[in-house]
Structure 1
Amino acid sequence: MAEVDITKCSQLDVGIVLEYFKKSFPFLTTIRMAYFLDFETNKFCDLLSNSTVCEVDLTVDISPLLSSNVSVLYCESESRSMQNRYFSMPSRRRPRPTLSHISKLTLEGRTDFSDSELSDIAECCNSLIYLNIRGCLSVTDIGIANLILRCVKLHSIIASDTSFGRSSISALCSRGQGTANIPLMEVDTEHLKLSDINLQLLHIGGCKGVCETSLEDLLSKEHKLKSLCLRGTCLVDQALYRFPGSTLEMLDVSNTMISRDALMHTVVRNSGLTHLVASGCRNLCLHRSKNSEDNLSPPNLSENFFIKLGKECQLEKLTIGWGFSDLSVNEIAPALISLKALTVGLGGSLGPEGLKQLCILCPLLESLSITFQVISDVVIMNLLVTLRKLQALSVCYCIGDLSPLFLNCKASYLRKLKLERVTPWMTNDDLALLTQNCANLMELSLVGCTRLDVDAQQIISSGWPGLVSLHLEDCGLVTADGVDNLFDCKAMENLLLRHNGCGIRRNFIIHAASKLPMLRSLSLDWCDASEGDLNLPNFSDRYSLSNVKIARCKLRKCSLDFHNKSAPERPVHKETLVLVWNSTSLQKTVVKERIT
């Protein structure tokens, strides 16, 4: 046997499992152990010492506190006591293995992995070519940089939402100059001559430590990149103009300040682009001259961006907002023949005509998400009837005439459905009809369905017993009498229940974790607590939970009724308590923002 996948089998004893693998599978090359929250770093060296293993996946859920924009009101960390651990660990650290053949390593979401583990990897994994440390909040820029310097074969790095910054970029630029065995502190990064960087994949989205200058220097030396994620970084036009690459297949520049001209310059050079993510880019509505940052003019002067995109690329995934309209659909038409996923969000102006065109232009579409757009019954029904490969449909916060008529469309091929603030008329009967016509759903999100009541739970659990994710918010009285019926959905991994009726009992979190063996993420609201409070789990009774979010509201009058003393007060968000577990500790954080 060459590959073993025990993903989500989180109750297995890691030590026994690893020993069994060594003895039973002498030719094992791939180990996938995703969502093993209790895999402690002590066992990592044991895994590295397996001489035949080339690929390891230790992914866990990404922390909901990744955003650096959250306002922390309170934070504390509780260490996990030895007597409460699932697995017995030696108190003394094992000696580091001398050599490992691991070439592909995924540690996504591992907040318990620190620079010490990165040092082990750098020392042992000479063959490492792919590293995913996305969301590893405990590793530092220096730790990442030292690993980059020592793992000279590394050509694929996913370090989004980490401390990746100037030191890591300096390390990338200095590789191949005789610095592989020198600690970063001893390398004169200010005077290094930049050499070409042979990365194929670089994802550093959300890395706030990356400055404009260092990012520009980095991109100017990237010739062979196939996948590049710069989401939410200090990316500016000049950096894209200096980027010499022509082999990009995936580009994510979402939530950056780039202009339409700079993006078009990159698209024209990379005709093999199949995935483009450019949501949240407000400057896509503007024309900006390559030679003058202040030369702004109306959008129509740069309208040929989508025409160029249509001529140059064959897209499979497009995420867009600002600057995208019904007219853009026609301009980009040649690029949409192979499109499988489309997301249109804030800033886009895609109306019924544009959506009708999608039914004709995108026969292979598998995922469609529209937010803050204009919709109609006819259009949604046409989408469901025409797009027979559609597996995911998300219609959120849209305006238009949407009635129960579209529920009559049979869409057994749908696996994911989001209807948020677009179906306030939905009743239990409508929900039952939805279970019949969309019988194979695995993920469901309903927001603002105020006419649902407690019987909706039974309809959901009997109609979709295999649900993996369920979000219900502002849905009438669904939880007014408890949540027991939802426990029949044994495959549930992600559950959000907010403002659905004050019937959630004090022990619900622990009870849900015990009844739903796959449950990893739970979101609630204190408004729904029947006894005014909720018991919080510890390590011993969290089961498979990796994070819990509990929102708290405060009562406030509508601003229009502020001077009306008799006006009713309504609940508005105040703060969120976030609990996040890893193998060594429980972090309790209170933030101002609403975390879902």
Structure 2
Amino acid sequence: MRGHDWINNSLPEEIILEIFRRLESKPSRDACSLVCKRWLSLERFSRTTLRIGASFSPDEFVSLLSRRFLHITSIHVDERLSVTLPSLSPSPIRKRGRNSSSPSSSKRKKLNAKTHSAAENVESCSLTDVGLTALANGFPRIENLSLIWCPNVSSAGLHSLAEKCTSLRSLDLQGCFVGDKGLAAVGKFCKQLEELNLRFCEGLTDIGVIDLVVGCAKSLKSIGVAASNKITDLSLEAVGSHCKLLEVLFLDSEYIHDKGLIAVAQGCNRLKDLKLQCVGVTDKAFGAVGDLCTSLERLALYSFQHFTDKGMRAIGKGCKKLKNLTLSDCYFVTCKGLEAIANGCKELTRIEINGCHNIGTYGVEAVGKSCPRLNELALLYCQRIGNSALQEIGKGCKSLEILQLVDCSGIGDNAMCSIAKGCRNLKKLHIRRCYEIGNKGIIAIGKHCKSLTELSLRFCDKVGDQALIAIGKGCSLQQLNVSGCNHISDAGISAIAKGCPQLTHLDISVLQNIGDMPLVELGEGCPMLKDVVLSHCHNITDSGLNHLVQKCTLLESCHMVYCPGITSVGVATVVSSCPHIKKVLIEKWKVSERTTRRAGSVITYLCMDL
């Protein structure tokens, strides 16, 4: 009956709270909180996570949040997020009565004065020790805290936080200039700390790290250090001596050497995840890792100058549980080293090889022969890998779902045909600048890989309409990127529009042979489209864009720079027809004043005024 509130009168608070907990997206929760004051109160009561960007009064903002949200356990402060200044332009003049100096105009003057003052002092946007103390007072039960690039937070604030938030389990101080005393306080009071990130914390030395490690020795499981030139092997020796539960270690430092990593290997036999960019570490340290870290599952090595096949053999011999391997710019690792890993680590599910110029066809062939559980393979800037490598992958790795190829000039259609026939569960295929891959290989993918949902063929000059026609017939794509494939024309995109109704992301930039007709068919056939990139398409006009946006009402992002056929009328059509639009990338001179007033917050300009 009209006038009766059946929901609020029938549902107890416990049921409504449970409904809020089951809502996964923040927009859904926000929408429900607007139903009534009761729901707003319950939504605040049920919320456990806050994400805070830069603001003009961060300390006061934290105090305000603590009064509204009472059960927060996770807070993420990231001051890399830009501050949006209120508009400084004068408000439109409105006709009033006899008194032109109304109270509202007075308030506007004060607001503009405050805005100018804030714009002159951008440093006030940083959280300080006062705000950190307020955070500690307002959220004493917090378990997860991230302070990303908060330069005005010091040891004093961190000490205050640690003293009151003793339940802290995860602490991320990336880019914060905290000192040893603050870190020592965390070790003294936060005995349940499990995860610690100290990337780019330049104010720390071994003294602070050792104090924390000793204090949190019984709980610490994850440590990350990067670009901290005063953290040396002494800290890692303390980790190895005290942190017996350590499972994750991320190191990016020129000041870490074999001694520190060996200490960790000797003391932390539960280590599962090791990510290193340490030019001072050699094969000697990896010999210890291979002998002692038998639980290792993920290994990522970046820019090693003293890591060779000897270290790879040690890993392959001892780390039988290894599942994820990344080798980036490891110039002295060869096919023999990769073969040693493949033969010894039969559980491998993901391999990424990036810029390792001494790894060629033979090494990847060994992976195909020995790693039947491989699920993801990425070969980036590998000029010495040829077709027979992927032919072996196709024969032996039937579970492959993700394949990424970038600048692999030796891989062509024969390799792709082998992948298509052997890896029929393939879901994601990303190829960039592999100039020997053409229609034949992609047609085979469309014929055999019916589960394919993501296809990216950027700047593959030999791929044309026939390939996309086969994809449209055989695969129900959700994402397609054919940027720079100059042989693709209207027929290929039209085939995708007709065969892939679930398409949500499309990039057809730098296609000179695309006109308005494919946009019309995309509008008819792909109503779920959310992101579209049309930049550098010289034959697309306002007419085609109008047909697209009239039917694709879920569109959130549209890039259309350097399209001479698109004018201010087309831009206005996009922002007026798409209620969910969040970003429009366009040249500034194509945006009218009316469009700016209506949707200035969603428009991003290619070039700004100098």
TM-score greater than 0.5 by the shorter chain:
yes
Work out whether residues 8 and 518 of structure 1, in 8 Å CA contact, stay in contact via their aligned partners in 2: no
Q: Deviations over 1:558-595 (max 9, x none)?
A: xxxxxxxxxxxxxxxxxxxxxxxxxx99999989xxxx
Query: Partner residue of 2:85?
Result: 79
Q: Does 1:23 align with 2:48?
A: no
Query: Partner residue of 1:129?
Result: 169
Q: Deviations over 1:175-227 (max 9, x none)?
A: 144699xxxxxxx98998752245423446xxxxx531157676455424322
Q: Does 1:253 align with 2:291?
A: no
Q: Deviations over 1:299-354 (max 9, x none)?
A: 7xxx2552244214521110014233332134345651211111112135332222
- The 3 A distance-change label for structure 1 pair 368 and 452 is closer
* Residues 314-353 of structure 1: pairs in structure 2 closer than 5 A: 314-321=347-354, 322=356, 323-332=358-367, 335-347=370-382, 349-353=384-388
1:414 partner amino acid: L
1:306 partner amino acid: E
* Residues 174-323 of structure 1: pairs in structure 2 closer than 5 A: 174-177=211-214, 195-196=238-239, 197=243, 199-203=246-250, 210-214=252-256, 219=261, 221-222=263-264, 223=268, 224-230=270-276, 234=279, 236-237=281-282, 245-257=293-305, 259-260=307-308, 261-285=310-334, 303-321=336-354, 322=356, 323=358
Query: Partner residue of 2:391?
Result: 356
Q: Deviations over 1:212-252 (max 9, x none)?
A: 11576764554243223346x65643765676744321122
Look up the SS of the partner of 1:251 in the other structure. strand
Q: Which runs of 5+ in 1 are unaligned?
A: 64-75, 84-90, 181-187, 205-209, 286-298, 553-583, 592-596
Bigger CA radius of gyration: 2
Work out whether residues 169 and 218 of structure 1, in 8 Å CA contact, stay in contact via their aligned partners in 2: no
Look up the SS of the partner of 2:30 in the other structure. coil
Once the two structures are TM-superposed, the CA of residue 550 in structure 1 deviates from its matched residue by 7.2
Look up the SS of the partner of 2:377 in the other structure. strand
Q: Does 1:435 align with 2:472?
A: yes
2:254 partner amino acid: E
Work out whether residues 539 and 563 of structure 2, in 8 Å CA contact, stay in contact via their aligned partners in 1: yes
2:428 partner amino acid: A
Query: Partner residue of 1:417?
Result: 455
Q: Does 1:477 align with 2:527?
A: no
> CA separation in 1, counterparts of 2:285 and 2:388?
36
Look up the SS of the partner of 1:409 in the other structure. helix
1:211 partner amino acid: S
Query: Partner residue of 2:596?
Result: none
Work out whether residues 409 and 435 of structure 2, in 8 Å CA contact, stay in contact via their aligned partners in 1: yes
Work out whether residues 338 and 363 of structure 2, in 8 Å CA contact, stay in contact via their aligned partners in 1: no
> CA separation in 2, counterparts of 1:44 and 1:484?
52
Once the two structures are TM-superposed, the CA of residue 435 in structure 1 deviates from its matched residue by 1.2
Q: Using structure 1 for the length normalisation, give the TM-score.
A: 0.63
- The 3 A distance-change label for structure 1 pair 330 and 343 is same
1:253 partner amino acid: L
Work out whether residues 584 and 602 of structure 2, in 8 Å CA contact, stay in contact via their aligned partners in 1: no
Look up the SS of the partner of 1:9 in the other structure. helix
Work out whether residues 33 and 58 of structure 1, in 8 Å CA contact, stay in contact via their aligned partners in 2: yes
Work out whether residues 268 and 309 of structure 1, in 8 Å CA contact, stay in contact via their aligned partners in 2: no
Query: Partner residue of 2:536?
Result: 499
- The 3 A distance-change label for structure 1 pair 496 and 143 is farther
- The 3 A distance-change label for structure 1 pair 396 and 167 is same
Once the two structures are TM-superposed, the CA of residue 126 in structure 1 deviates from its matched residue by 3.2
1:249 partner amino acid: E
Work out whether residues 537 and 563 of structure 2, in 8 Å CA contact, stay in contact via their aligned partners in 1: no
Give the alignment's Cα RMSD to 1 decimal.
5.7
Work out whether residues 404 and 429 of structure 2, in 8 Å CA contact, stay in contact via their aligned partners in 1: yes
Of the three residues 381, 404, 410, the one matched with 1:369 is 404
Look up the SS of the partner of 1:375 in the other structure. coil
2:296 partner amino acid: L
Once the two structures are TM-superposed, the CA of residue 501 in structure 1 deviates from its matched residue by 2.0
Query: Partner residue of 2:4?
Result: none
Look up the SS of the partner of 2:392 in the other structure. helix
> CA separation in 2, counterparts of 1:542 and 1:202?
46
2:238 partner amino acid: S
Work out whether residues 487 and 516 of structure 1, in 8 Å CA contact, stay in contact via their aligned partners in 2: no
> CA separation in 2, counterparts of 1:10 and 1:215?
50
> CA separation in 2, counterparts of 1:36 and 1:4?
25
Query: Partner residue of 1:451?
Result: 487
> CA separation in 1, counterparts of 2:249 and 2:210?
13
> CA separation in 2, counterparts of 1:340 and 1:483?
35
> CA separation in 2, counterparts of 1:114 and 1:348?
47
> CA separation in 2, counterparts of 1:22 and 1:487?
41
Q: Does 1:392 align with 2:428?
A: yes
Query: Partner residue of 1:570?
Result: none
* Residues 511-522 of structure 1: pairs in structure 2 closer than 5 A: 517=554, 519=556
Look up the SS of the partner of 2:362 in the other structure. helix
- The 3 A distance-change label for structure 1 pair 436 and 333 is closer
Using the TM superposition, name which of 168-177 and 373-382 deviates more.
168-177
Work out whether residues 506 and 532 of structure 2, in 8 Å CA contact, stay in contact via their aligned partners in 1: yes
Work out whether residues 454 and 478 of structure 1, in 8 Å CA contact, stay in contact via their aligned partners in 2: yes
Q: Does 1:163 align with 2:200?
A: yes
Number of aligned residues = 493
- The 3 A distance-change label for structure 1 pair 201 and 524 is farther
> CA separation in 2, counterparts of 1:149 and 1:544?
47
> CA separation in 2, counterparts of 1:469 and 1:394?
14
Work out whether residues 149 and 175 of structure 1, in 8 Å CA contact, stay in contact via their aligned partners in 2: yes
Q: Using structure 2 for the length normalisation, give the TM-score.
A: 0.62
- The 3 A distance-change label for structure 1 pair 468 and 253 is farther
Look up the SS of the partner of 1:447 in the other structure. coil
Once the two structures are TM-superposed, the CA of residue 163 in structure 1 deviates from its matched residue by 3.1
Q: Deviations over 1:87-112 (max 9, x none)?
A: xxxx99895345454545679xx789
> CA separation in 2, counterparts of 1:8 and 1:456?
38
> CA separation in 2, counterparts of 1:436 and 1:320?
33
> CA separation in 2, counterparts of 1:214 and 1:530?
55
- The 3 A distance-change label for structure 1 pair 433 and 176 is closer
Higher strand fraction (1 or 2): 1
> CA separation in 1, counterparts of 2:41 and 2:286?
48
- The 3 A distance-change label for structure 1 pair 226 and 51 is farther
Look up the SS of the partner of 1:229 in the other structure. strand
Q: Does 1:9 align with 2:30?
A: no
